[in-house]
Every structure is written in structure tokens, then in C-alpha cells.
Structure 1
């Protein structure tokens, strides 16, 4: 089948970019005709490997500046990127697509696809966050325009249920999580006295909660270290927080890494301190490397992956003391770390690239058949139930 994936900017470091490229690569490897469209381009090359069988295209090939756009609502996190030039050029790109499946990957792109993509296409919106996080104007536009699409796909069962309630059955929904890039990641031996966390250095990721929690850990275990991988606008604030808690010999901002699997496998414990998530891929990657995990039970995702005491430890949302206690428990109980790590690897298998690809193929096939039959509406079928 012919599939076009659309990213706002395919050349950055974000989790959505990484997971959509993984999807495109897996589909191309399975023999599908795959195109990856980047609406704007700010860098020369991709941070992530793109399979040579994936055709890449830049939608806006000239300057993307100019007056503000009028179609993407205020509150879309990338609203400033959607200038009039970007909106109009992307609409023309959509109207020029002749057939196949179109997959858009953020609210602004999904809304423009709902309004401008021809009905001959199978139009699928991916939500890489969750409906409850969107500002009122964005949510209102979603409720108005998403029913024009053929399907809305959420990363978690909880978000799918929220879409079903909000949209009232006016569009088909499905739950398909993001895939791991591989199931052959290196594996930790649980001997390193290192806790690791990774993500953008922003408020969302809650590293400002993790650092004080780790101060409590070092009171009991001064030989353990915390390494934070990522970059972002909160870096200076986090450095000040490290010094405030006298953790300059215990907590290290490591910057970006191109080989997160290697860094994970050199650690023993993964900490997730996010205030909210769409679907926490770094958590899944830690499980894939066999790490024991301590995580906030934040919305959304962790409690659909982690069962406390079976494959990790969940603590109440934003409970820094609880997170510190969970980390200390894992540090002090090496057999528990190893047992949770073994179960973590088994959990990761459910998110392997081939497993997730088969779910996308089933959904796309069902939508194509429904389109041909003239029944591409809110009808449900086994292919969407997951």
C-alpha cells in the first residue's frame, strides 16, 4: 500500500519525530510504498536514520515566514510555525495527493488534513499527546473537524476512550502504541550504580521533581549517581537546582545522545518523573534494555505499561518522596532489580516493530476496504479494537 507520513519538522530530535520515522522505516522494510513529508525544514539532515526505501519530501521549500496563519488555532504548541505560507502550501500539498493512506501527526496537521485532504485518501490522525492536554480552542477545533477524518489513533487505551466520549462515535478511533525501533538493544547487567532519565529539559519531564528526590536517595546511598540525558530551555534552572541541593558530584546533565540504548544499558535503574506524557517511549526503551523502573503514575501511559511489583514500580503522580523511596528500594534490593528487569524485557516484546506494524497494516487495510465500499465512517471492526 502507499502511505504518506507527515511531520511538521522531520529533522529535529523529538520523540514524535523518532517514532514516526521508526514507523515509516518498518513499513518500507515490509514492502510498502512509503513517503515521509516534512512540512518545514530547519536543519540539513535527520538526527535519526531514515531507510533509503522511504521517499522524503520537504513541503515548504522556500521561506516559511510571513504573516500568522488563520487556520490552526491559538494553543497549538507549534502555532508560530503555522504561518499563512505554511498553511497554504501544506493545503496545496494535501490536495495534490492522489491515493493511498495519509497519516498526520499533530493537531495542526490533523486539522488541516481534515479540511483539505481529498476524501479519496484514507486520512488518519495520530495523537502523540492526549486529548486532555489541549487548550480550549484546539480541543474545540478537534471536536469540530476530526469527524471528517477516517480514523483517529491514540497511543493509549485511556486516550482512545477519552476521544470516544468527546467525539460521540462520529469518527472511528483506535489504540496503537508507538513501536520500539528494535528488540535487540544491549542489556544491563545491573551492576552499575547509576540511575538514568532522559527527555527534553522542560517542565513536562519533571526533572525539577526528580533532582530533589534524588537528594534524598544520596543521603542513604552516596555512591549512586543520576545521569539526565537531553537538552532544553530548563537546563540553567536544573543546574541551579543541582547546586542548591549540593548534588554537583551526584547528578549530571549529560546533554543529547545519539545512542540512548548504550547509555541505558550502562545503568541499572530508570526514573520517569514526568508531569504528563503522551506515551513514554524512553520508559519503554529502558524496559527493552532490562532496567528496573521507578515511575510517577502520570497521565498518560505509565500505568498501561507498568504493573507495580511485576515489571517496575509506580508511585503517585508528582510524589517526590514516593519516587525517592522507590529508587532506594531498587538500589537496596539487587534481586528485585534483576527480577523486574527480566519482566521488563518480556513487556518490551509487546511493542516490537513487527508487532506494531501488523496492527497498523490491519487498520489501514480495513480503512481502505471501507473507503472502497463507501462506508468510511464511524463503523467499528475488529481491526480497530486494541
Structure 2
């Protein structure tokens, strides 16, 4: 096996809290334990395309401020597939050879890639084509990457969404309103489910569980009958309309993004029961800010373990959190398994046991014998 003397690290895809903590851990372990040089690649694969490649050298002293910093000091990108990279003249060009050449220009012996399923799939293809030695660290606020129970960035995103729910309770009660919080998560409902339980939401809507507007409105009527003058709803951005269409927005560049399901629900609730509703869309607030203690811990453990994988010559593997410890799994396995919310998951059962409405009539087996709510077609105004 080739002796390791210099390794690279890059962050790819959407940013999140905890990336800098991982960079810090990689630098400490690589330099402090193995005496390697650590090269940070700027702007992910685009930094390797540049000539000369864009990079920065890290020392242990350089990383002291990184633990509590959000974002990534290396920069990142989630645009421009290197296998069909958009050029200035409108052509799509395969830039993989440029990326591989950049790796060799930097005289790297191995590369640590921090990313989600899309980024890691691209990095693995590049590694296979160029015979690059790749180790991966999972990061995604969506927590939908296979083979790991948690990814860097998820816990902070949940904390931010939970804090938003905490704040919305008071203003909702003050004005007798239904407050709807729309959160990120891409095609998975992990953020909405976890934050909804932790933040005391009355209704949680996630893309993995179909819902009925009649059931949602009936839940709101029942809360009003119990003496509540307000309600809190949290919805994942990928939840569809009741008829199955995704709600999206297109910007001036023609890019289509998830967003708008919160307003769709607000209009439907206002029409259905006459309740005054307000919508808050957290958006990229969930990606920013100071990483939570748990994200710092996970990122640090992942960074140390990733360096150890290189030292052991175990390439084409991703570090993973399973059963309260760090293990390694083949990258191919991780990106092949999409981790959506399982409708029979413990947290789903917990939400139902706490009386939280998930948009469909709860089944007795999941709610310990509680009967499903009765759904009516009434559209009378209620004071909620």
C-alpha cells in the first residue's frame, strides 16, 4: 500500500451545521496522530477543476475556531454535475478528467468527502474512474442517507425547528390562530417528525404518510372543543396536496424548488373551518447557525474515524453511526439505501400515542386501543 503523507478534504452539496467540526477533527487526527499534511479543497469538485486547484493547507492551530462555526470554511456547491458540467457557451461537458488531474496536481494520497447521497454518489464515480482513494463522512439535514442512524447537520436542524415551534406557541395563543411551520427535509419527513414531537405540535404532516384535510380539520375542531384557542401544525416541504401534487416554486433561472405546502394548508384550513391561519417557512435558517452539541460530537467522531479508515487502507467506505458507535460501511451500500420515515417507526407510534394527528385516522394497533377520530364534512367557523 502506498504510504500516506498528504490527504485532502472537501465538503459537497448543501451546507449544514457541523461541517467545520468534522474538518477540525480530521486535521487534529491526521496531523497529531499520523503526521500527515491536510489540504482543504475549496468549493468541492469545482475547486479541483480550477487551474491551479483551489485549496488551503490546514494546521492544528488553524482549526481552533472551527468547532462552533456553522457552514463550511471550504465552501461548497450543489450545482454542476461534473459528468455534464454546464459551460459558459451553453454546452454540457464531462469535467471528470479535470477533477482527477486536480487531485493529482495536489499530490493527494487520499480524499475525505463530506456529503449526502447525491454528492457521495458523484464522488464515488470519480474515485472509481480515476482510481482515487476515497473515504466518506455522511452529512445531510434531511437524515435520509442509508446505513447510518444520524448524519452531520440533522440534529441542529431539528433543534432550530423545535425552537421555532416553541416560539410560535405563544403568538398562536395570543391571537387564537392556527400556526403552520413548513420545514425542510427534501423527500423525507425526519425533521418534521422529530421537531413536531419535541416542540409539542398538534398536527405533523410528512410525505411518507398520506393525509386527509377532513382529518386535519376535525383534529382542529376537537382541540377547540377541549378549550384550546390555538393550534400548531408542522409540515415537511415535500408533502403533496391532498390530490397528490407536489407544491413547488420556480425562480427566475427556471430552477424548481420544493416550497409552498404550508400556504396550501393554510388556505385549505381557513376555507374548511374558518380558522385564522399564519405560515412560517424556516427555509435555510435550518442549515445555518451554531452546531448543536450533538452535531459537534458526531462530526468529531466521524472525522477521527475517517482518518483512521485511511490509515487502515479501507477506502470506498463511509463512516456511520450505528448502535451508539462509529462503524464503517461501503459507500455503495449507503447511497443505495434511501432512508425515509418508516410509517411503523417508534417516533410515529410515539406521536400517535401523544395524541398528535398525522393527517390520517390513527389505527388502534398504533395507539393502544384509542379509537380513530370521527370525520365530518362540516365547514362551520370555529374559534381556534
Question: TM-score range with shorter-chain normalisation?
Answer: 0.3 to 0.5
Q: TM-score, normalised by structure 2?
A: 0.41
Higher RCO (CA 8 Å, separation ≥ 6 residues):
2
Q: Which has the larger radius of gyration?
A: 2
Q: TM-score, normalised by structure 1?
A: 0.41
